[in-house]
Every structure is written in structure tokens, then in C-alpha cells.
Structure 1
Amino acid sequence: MAQFHPLTVTDIQKTTRDAVVVTLRPENGADFTFTQGQYLTFKRDFGGEELRRSYSVCSGANDGTLQVGVKRVSGGVFSTWANTELDVGDTLDAMMPMGGFFAADTAQTPNILAFAAGSGITPILSILRTAMDDPTVRATLIYSNRNPNTVMFREELEDLKNQHMGRLNIVHLLSDGSQEIDLFRGRIDAAKCDALFENWIDIKSVTTSYICGPEQMMQTVAQTLEGHGLPKDRIRFELFASAQMGRAKLPAIDMSAPEDGVEGQLTVGGETWSFVIPQNTSLLDAALENNMDAPYACKAGVCSTCKAKVLEGDVEMIANHALEDYEVDAGYVLTCQCFPVTSQRVVWDYDQSEH
């Protein structure tokens, strides 16, 4: 399941000073068919250390091309390399597309309202490009940035809007005050949402909302949407960074658990292994320490790459920024954030993760 496949870089284009769009071609007959809003997890060795990073696909599902957007992050080894050293002809290793940032029933989403901030536009662009292929769909995008020079995919968004006049509306919010209309100045917050819903957007006609950006912004938008009557199950999230990197607190370890750990059993790629999970060790880390080829990327509860289904035993998931409530109710977890809270064994299966 954690198998990586080679992708050849066929084109690199700057979309802002510190962001690039990378076009990729699968090799060896690999099928990288994706659903709009999904992401790719890449790995690369830097100075003897393997790094894994996930980047959202920005091309539409029907475009016939595979593209990801990579914004350079301060101190980000992979993103800096991709923006400064990656070249056409290079090969990147990536997992198959993953993620659930899309509506399961697109026929029931004729009126989309999307919110994005910064590089959060990347999966939103894929969703909008795909949605516009259906002539019955209408969409509005609220896109927040510091100033016009930091707007990723500015030309692509304008082209998409011009191709679908009357069906796609784009509102740029800029925090530098360069917008002439007060409504379009500042950041996305509760007051801004209320003003937009009162003066610009008919929230009652919205069937699905997509939100991608910083955690606090997404929570604020979601709460405001619910306050204006949009059902929770019609609000989709994609977090590209978390204020809570890694573990938030110590798990509630069962004091009756043996000091040397708990028996663990995992299935991945059709094979099953058993080993001991040391105390205060996540399911994912225990698997990796035992040389299991378990899938992972961010290890912060953000991307869902390490999603698995717990079949036996009790665990505590101390952070979750990626799974929906119904997934958790069905037994799915983010193994990077899960710790045993039982003296009995824990059994989990990556092959049932429905990636």
C-alpha cells in the first residue's frame, strides 16, 4: 500500500515568486487517475534522511494531465528544493493519489461555495476545474491573500472564470488594503463571512462548501456557515497546515498495561505482522520501528495518509484534522496519532482504509 511510483517532471511553471506548478508523467504504466481535491505524497532523500511531503493536485479530473502546486515554506526543505532545484526531466517518487476532499455525490452539488487562503487554493482549483465541466454547476470562490503578488494561480483562475462567465464567481480578499471595495479588504473571519452572506452570496442556495486554509480560518468559516443554515455534512475541509504539529498531549495509557508494551498486529499490502507496541508509542511509529512499510506523510494528523481501521482493541486518537465523524464512528483512525489504551492487543488494517 505504501508503494511509491516514479513520476517524470515534464514541465515547471512559476505561479508566484515562491510557488511552482509541477507537471508530472507516470512511468511504467502506473495509473495515477485521481479524484478532484486529492493529493500526492512524495518522498526524497535529503542528506541521508528520507522526507515525505504531500501536495495537492491542482489539475481537473478531466484535464488529462497531472499537476501539483508547491509553495515554498520558510525552512521547508522539500518545498524549497522543489522551487529552486527541481528541473524538467527529474524523477519524483510518489504514492497513488489519496484524500477525501470531495463530495461523494457530485450530482447533489449544483451550487458550490469555496473558501481558500494562500496555497489552500491548490485542491480548490482542481475541484472548480472539474465542477465547471458540468454545465449545470455554479460556483463561488472566496480567496484570501496578503496582496495581488501572492495570489497563486491568478491567471488560471481568471481564465477559468472567463471560460465560464455567469457560472463561476471569484472574490479576492486582500489584507493589504489594495482592494477598492471595503467588503473585499481584510481576511476571512466571522464578520467578513456575515457581510458576504448578507451582501454578496445567497447562502440558502449553496449545496456544498469546500474550505482549505489555516485551521482557525476553517473553523471560523465552518461555524459561520452552520450558523447560516448550511448542514454540517455539506461542509468539506482540507487542512494544509496545523498549529498542532505532532502530539498535543500524552495519551491516557491504561495503568494495567504491561510495562514492556501491548501486542500489536497490522495488515498492509495483503500481509499481516505481529509485534509489541512499546508504551507511549503510536501505532504508526511502532510499525515503522519494526520495519513495516506503513503509509505516512505528515505525522501530524493532517493528511490522512496513515489512515487505517482498528479491528480489535482500544486506542486514543489525540489529534484528528483529516477524518470525518462518520469515518471515526466506523473505526477508522490516523495511526500517527493513535496510542493503545488497553492491556489487550490492538489490531489494525491499512488495506481497509478506503484511500
Structure 2
Amino acid sequence: MAKKSLNWEVAPWNDSQMLECAMVVPENDDTASFTFRAPNGAWFDYQPGQFITLDLPVDPKKGAKGNVQRTYTISSSPSRPLSISITVKAQSTSIGTRWMLDNLKPGMQIKAFGPAGIFSFHRHPAQKYLMISAGSGITPMMSMTTWAWDSGQMPDIVFVHAAKRPSEIIFRERLEQFANRVPGLQLRFTVEESDPFRAWPGYKGRLSQIMLGLMAPDYLEREVFCCGPEPFMQAVREMLQSLGYDMSRYHQESFGLAVSTEADAPVIDDVTPGEGVKAEITFADSGLVVGCGETDTVLAVAKRSGLNIPSGCTFGLCGTCKIKKLSGEVHMVHNGGISDDDIAEGYILACCSNPMGKISVAV
């Protein structure tokens, strides 16, 4: 059987054409890479970081044959135009991805649309990049990094990725092969927990300001690309904002929202402490009501008012200044000194909590 080859006489594959599944490669549990080729031998031209939309023959309501459309970031690079790949990870609520993992095999054809999307470092050229991802958010970073490798002119990239365990870091071996050959790629992985009976020499714990500073000390000089679940990206944004990063150089791609054009891009409107905006803290146990600004921390206001809140590190790591918030909202960017359970119960770290309007604390 003759092998298919690149046909430069055929126009590149584009919107609303069939793709033939050529290969399925398991990555880890409930995660696989699907490689497609164009039946007519067309080649693939796109920007690294873009996505395609697949028309999948599954009915999400009845389980009968039907169609659902799902967007997936391309994990391959246009520097390798013979094929195109996506890497998918099924969640508990997945429908289209679950169907792909259970049913899509080499030789089957799927209708696809695209490529599309604005999340690409081709649109924001720079000498130094900081790529930050979590889970399957690693896919556009892999596409861009592969392009950089194939170009022969690897820029300075710090590649930060967060995963639950080392065994769940998608593309780990391939990225390490790249990094072992060029000085321009620095890998920084952090995990929630290590795998049983396997030593883990890397970072451990949720990504924090301190960790980010160790991973990329020159982060202020880098163009940042971020992809992952929205809570993760929000935490990254808050870290960068509190560290004085120029957020016009920050770019993100959401799991749930595929953005095709700049006009479609949602406005990031995070609530952050405003310069010159007035706030008020009621120290309930002491009977003091103190006016302040939103950029003041609860700890700083307490000290100015003659109140003693035990503290240590003053940057949200040690947890010494944990207090109970009775009412109101604070903006807190911590470094691991407080648990999610404590936050859910209303506790805050005074050293890194800014009052957003009027609040009351048990001090």
C-alpha cells in the first residue's frame, strides 16, 4: 500500500473538510493524542496554539447517534505539516471527548472546522516567554514549543506546568528531550502529590508567587501565555498583578471558551484593590472601626491602629496571621499559608488580604 505524502499542489486543509484518523497514542489515564491527515493529501497550515472544531457523532442526551461539536487545541506544530494532532483529556462530565477515547480509531473520518484562534506567540513576538499551564492546558504550549524547536532558533522559554501527579504531566518526556538539547527551554513542573514509590525532585504544591519567582526570576521581562481551568488562570492573573506585572503582555486561552477573533475575546475584569479607593475595617473584638484604602492589608491597618495580630513571613506563606473574617469581602493572594477549607470557613491571612469596601474581622 502506497504511503500518503505531502501534496503541495493541493491547497492546504481548511474549514469544513473531512479528516481521517491516522493514529491514536495513549498519554495517560483518560488522555490520548489523536493524529489526523487529510484524505486528499492536503497539508496543514495554522498558527501554533490555534484550535479546530470536530463534529462528533454522539447524541449527548440519548446516547444515540447524533452530532455534537467540540473544540480542541492543536497539540502538533505547523512546522510538521503532514498531519495535525489534538490531545484530549476526559473529565467526569465529558461527552465528545469520552466518545473519542472509546470509539475513534485509525481509518475513521470526522468532519472538522478550522483552524481558528488568536492564542499564539506568533501574534506576540518576544525574546523571552513564560508559558504557564495546568492539566490539558499544556496542549497549546506544546504546539508553540515544538514550533520553536523546529525553527532552529529556540527563544528563551520558561515552561511552567502544574499537574496533580508527575505521571499526569502530559508530554513530559518529549519536553525533557527538547530541554536536554537546547539551553533556551527551562522546564518547571509542580505537582500536588508525588507518585507512590517514585522520587519527585521538582516543585510540590500549588503554584504561588514565591514559586513563580524561583521558577522565573525575570518574569517581569517575559511575555506570558497561560492556559488551564479558569480558577487556575485567575490565580495566575492575581499573582502577576500583585507582583506588578504589565498585564498587557499577558495572554490566556480558556478551556470552555474558544476565541476565534480579537473582537470575540472576553474582557478580563478581575476585581483587584484600587489605588485611592476607600475601605473600612471593623475590628470586632476590639471595638475599633478604621478607615483605610483597598491597597492596605488588614495586618498593616491593625498595626497602625495599635492592635497585635501575630505574624511571621508577611507574604502569605507561614499562616501565622490567620484570622476569622466575619463579613465583607477581601482580595487575598497567598503563598500556601492557608487551606481551601479554612478559606471556605471564612478565615483569611491578614498579611496578604486587602479589604474590598467594608469588612469585619475577629480581632
| Same-fold status (TM-score > 0.5) | yes
State yes or no: 1:124 paired with 2:180: no
The change in CA–CA distance for 1:110 and 1:4 in structure 2 (over 3 A counts) is: same
Quote the residue 1:37 is aligned against.
49
Distance in 1 (CA, whole Å) between partners of 2:155 and 2:67 is 42
Aligned pairs for 1:75-114 (under 5 A) are 75-106=93-124, 108-114=125-131
Q: CA deviation at 1:59?
A: 1.0
Q: CA RMSD in A?
A: 2.5
Distance in 1 (CA, whole Å) between partners of 2:69 and 2:123 is 31
The change in CA–CA distance for 1:80 and 1:136 in structure 2 (over 3 A counts) is: closer
The change in CA–CA distance for 1:75 and 1:217 in structure 2 (over 3 A counts) is: closer
Distance in 1 (CA, whole Å) between partners of 2:248 and 2:128 is 15
Does the 8 Å contact 1:117/1:212 carry over to 2? yes
Does the 8 Å contact 2:68/2:96 carry over to 1? yes
Distance in 2 (CA, whole Å) between partners of 1:28 and 1:35 is 22
Q: What letter corresponds to residue 224 of structure 2 in structure 1? A: S
Q: CA deviation at 1:32?
A: 3.6
Distance in 2 (CA, whole Å) between partners of 1:204 and 1:193 is 11
Q: Which runs of 5+ in 1 are unaligned?
A: 242-301, 310-319, 326-355
Quote the residue 1:248 is aligned against.
none
SS at match of 2:133: strand
Quote the residue 1:195 is aligned against.
211
Aligned pairs for 1:38-187 (under 5 A) are 38-46=50-58, 47-64=64-81, 65-106=83-124, 108-132=125-149, 133-135=151-153, 137-164=155-182, 166-177=183-194, 184-187=203-206
Distance in 2 (CA, whole Å) between partners of 1:171 and 1:94 is 34
Q: What letter corresponds to residue 5 of structure 1 in structure 2? A: Q
Q: CA deviation at 1:233?
A: 1.9
SS at match of 1:73: coil
After superposition, give the CA deviation of every residue in 1:34-58 in whole Å (9 maximum; x if it has no partner).
1000011001222243200011111
Q: CA deviation at 1:205?
A: 5.8
Q: CA deviation at 1:171?
A: 1.2
State yes or no: 1:237 paired with 2:255: no
After superposition, give the CA deviation of every residue in 1:198-230 in whole Å (9 maximum; x if it has no partner).
x33123563311100111111221232233333
Does the 8 Å contact 1:11/1:23 carry over to 2? yes
Quote the residue 1:211 is aligned against.
226
State yes or no: 1:303 paired with 2:258: yes
Q: CA deviation at 1:140?
A: 0.9
Q: What letter corresponds to residue 38 of structure 1 in structure 2? A: Q
Does the 8 Å contact 2:16/2:113 carry over to 1? yes
Does the 8 Å contact 1:211/1:237 carry over to 2? yes
Quote the residue 1:346 is aligned against.
none
SS at match of 1:96: strand
Does the 8 Å contact 1:203/1:228 carry over to 2? no
Aligned pairs for 1:269-308 (under 5 A) are 302-304=257-259
Distance in 2 (CA, whole Å) between partners of 1:233 and 1:163 is 32
Q: What letter corresponds to residue 42 of structure 1 in structure 2? A: L
TM score, norm. by length of structure 2: 0.62
Q: What letter corresponds to residue 194 of structure 1 in structure 2? A: I
SS at match of 1:163: coil
Percent of matched pairs sharing the same residue? 24
The change in CA–CA distance for 1:26 and 1:127 in structure 2 (over 3 A counts) is: same
After superposition, give the CA deviation of every residue in 1:167-209 in whole Å (9 maximum; x if it has no partner).
111111110156756x711122xxx233331x33123563311
After superposition, give the CA deviation of every residue in 1:310-347 in whole Å (9 maximum; x if it has no partner).
xxxxxxxxxx8x4467xxxxxxxxxxxxxxxxxxxxxx
Distance in 2 (CA, whole Å) between partners of 1:174 and 1:102 is 26
Does the 8 Å contact 1:140/1:168 carry over to 2? yes
Q: What letter corresponds to residue 38 of structure 2 in structure 1? A: P
TM score, norm. by length of structure 1: 0.63
Distance in 2 (CA, whole Å) between partners of 1:200 and 1:42 is 36
State yes or no: 1:225 paired with 2:180: no
Q: What letter corresponds to residue 242 of structure 2 in structure 1? A: G
Distance in 2 (CA, whole Å) between partners of 1:67 and 1:42 is 12
- Using the TM superposition, name which of 45-54 and 34-43 deviates more: 45-54
**Of the two structures, which has the highest relative contact order with CA contacts closer than 8 Å and spacing of 6 or more?**
1
State yes or no: 1:16 paired with 2:28: yes
Q: Which runs of 5+ in 2 are unaligned?
A: 1-13, 59-63, 269-363
Distance in 2 (CA, whole Å) between partners of 1:219 and 1:160 is 29
